[in-house]
Amino acid sequence: MNKLTHADVEVIEDQISFKGFYQLNTLALRHKLFLGGWSKTVSRELFKRHDAVGVLLYDPLLDAVALVEQFRIGVFGSDVARKNHQSPWILELVAGLIDKEEVPAEVARREAFEESGIIVEDIEPVGEYYSSPGGSNEYFYSFIGRADLTHAGGIHGLESEGEDIKVHLIQLDELWSKLDQGVLINAHTLIAVQWLKLHYKELKLRWS
């Protein structure tokens, strides 16, 4: 059987259920089945988001990275977080949303400066993926950025966007420990840190 495509989905109804900064659509649809024929009509909610980028700031001379810490409503509203006594302030990559036809790598550079005051000198793609394809259309671009982290730290972010972001300088040994101990609970951050752990020796050689 040939690979299934968009043409193998029939949208019967598509309604906007909510529209604010994000948008929620409710769809009635059916799709072709692997064994042939069509599924019954099903209802699905689609959380429509902007595509996004994230960049892990890495200094090959210091053997350190910069992560940002900020309040996240998703963790605050999580029963798991309350059960596990997880703070709604979590360590993450620098990240941001893509507006219109922006180039992802350039958005990563802009967000790095806005959220940390750090200039990305070189940038290396980690991967691209759907953040949560079971219910959202967000597509995420992940990068490692070479940066001078000598003076990394402090509080950053755009006041106009309600941002209050603390920058942390973390040595690689400590970063690997946080990875192993489950301290990093943001999926985008986990993916980038695991990629760096596999490739940092080659990056250090190339970027030093």
Ordered per-residue pLDDT tens for the chain, 208 residues: 589 999 999 999 999 999 998 999 999 999 999 999 999 999 999 999 999 999 999 999 999 999 999 999 999 999 999 999 999 999 999 999 998 789 999 999 999 999 999 999 999 999 999 999 999 999 999 999 999 999 999 999 888 878 899 999 999 999 999 999 999 999 999 999 999 999 999 999 999 8
Model pTM score? 0.94
**Residue 42 contacts by C-beta under 8 Å, 6 or more apart in sequence?**
28, 29, 30
Tally of helices (H runs) and strands (E runs) in the chain:
5, 11
Query: What one-character DSSP code corresponds to residue 36?
Result: S
Q: Which of 111, 161, 163, 174 is catalytic?
A: 161
Q: Which of 129, 111, 132, 128 is nearest to 120 (CA)?
A: 111
Is 54 strand, coil or helix?
strand
Is 161 in the active site? yes
3-state secondary structure (DSSP) of residue 163: coil
CATH 3.90.79.10, the chain: domain bounds: 52-207
Of 62, 53, 87, 54, the C-alpha closest to 72 is: 87
Question: Tell me: domain 52-207, CATH 3.30.70.120, correct?
Answer: no
